[in-house]
Amino acid sequence: MTTFQIKLLAAVLMVCDHIGAVIFPKILILRFLGRLSFPLFAWLIGQGEKHTNNFNLYLLRLVILGLISQPIYYLTFHSSALNILATLAFGLLAIRVNKVIGSNLFTLIFAALAQLANAEYGAYGVFVIILLSEMNINRITWWLKWISLNLLTFWLPGFFFHQFLAGLTPLILSLWNSQQGRKGKWFYPFYPVHLALILVLQLLIL
C-alpha cells in the first residue's frame, strides 16, 4: 500500500465510524471498523512530521482546519470536546519537540494538555501518535507498549469497549511499501466537509 492508499483507507473508515455514530448507531460494525481510522491518521501525522518542508505551515493548517471544523463537530455530535484535529496537533507538537530536545519528556506534557483541553481521545490519542511515529513491528518491546496502551481502554473512562480493536492497525501499516503514491491535497479539508455532509443528512432524516 502507498501512503495515498492508507490516507484513502483512513478517510473511508472515518466516514463509516461517523455515519455509524450519527445515522446508524445500532449497526455496530461501522463503529468497529471506525476504530482503525484514528491510528491511521496518527501514523500519517508522524509521516507528515518527517517529510514536511515547512513544519510551522503544516501545524498551522491543522489548527485552522480544526477551528473551522469545531462548530460543525459540535452540531454533528453534540459534543463539547475538541475535534480530532486538535489531538493531531498536540501529537505533532509532541513529536517535534521531543526530537528537538532529544527526550520523550514532552509526550507526557502534551498528553496532559490534550486531556485537560478535552481533545478527542485525550492523552491516549497523543500516546498513539507518538508510538506509531516510532513504530517498529519487528521489536517485541514496541508491541508490548502498543498492546498495553490499547488494552488500557477497557478501563479508561469515556472509551467504548471496542476501542481495543485499534490495536490491529499495525497489521495494516505493515503493508506499506514506503511509496508516497498520488498526492492527497484533499485529505485534511475532507474532515470538515464530510462532517457538514453528515450533519445535513442527519437534519434531513430528523
Q: Is the pLDDT of residue 155 over 80?
A: no
Q: Is the pLDDT of residue 126 over 80?
A: yes
Dump the DSSP string for the chain: --HHHHHHHHHHHHHHHHHHHHT-TT-HHHHHHHTTHHHHHHHHHHHHHHH-S-HHHHHHHHHHHHHHHHHHHHHHH---SB-HHHHHHHHHHHHHHHHHHTSSHHHHHHHHHHHHTTBTTHHHHHHHHHHHHT--TT-HHHHHHHHHHHHGGGTSTT--GGGGGGGGHHHHHTT--S---S--TTTTTHHHHHHHHHHHHHHHH-
CA distance linking residue 36 with residue 121, whole number of Å: 13
pLDDT band at 161 (very low <50, low <70, confident <90, very high): confident
Q: What are the cell numbers at 174?
A: 505493515
pLDDT of residue 130: 97
pLDDT of residue 72: 96
pLDDT of residue 137: 85
Flag the least confident range among 5-9, 107-111, 146-150, 186-190: 186-190
Find the mean pLDDT for residues 90-102: 94
pLDDT band at 30 (very low <50, low <70, confident <90, very high): very high
pLDDT of residue 40: 97
Q: Is residue 127 a contact partner of residue 90, using CB atoms and an 8 Å limit?
A: no
159 or 104: which leads in pLDDT: 104
Q: What pTM, to 2 d.p., does this model score? A: 0.93
pLDDT band at 104 (very low <50, low <70, confident <90, very high): confident
CA distance linking residue 140 with residue 134, whole number of Å: 13
Share of the chain above pLDDT 90, in %: 77
Q: Is the pLDDT of residue 173 over 80?
A: yes
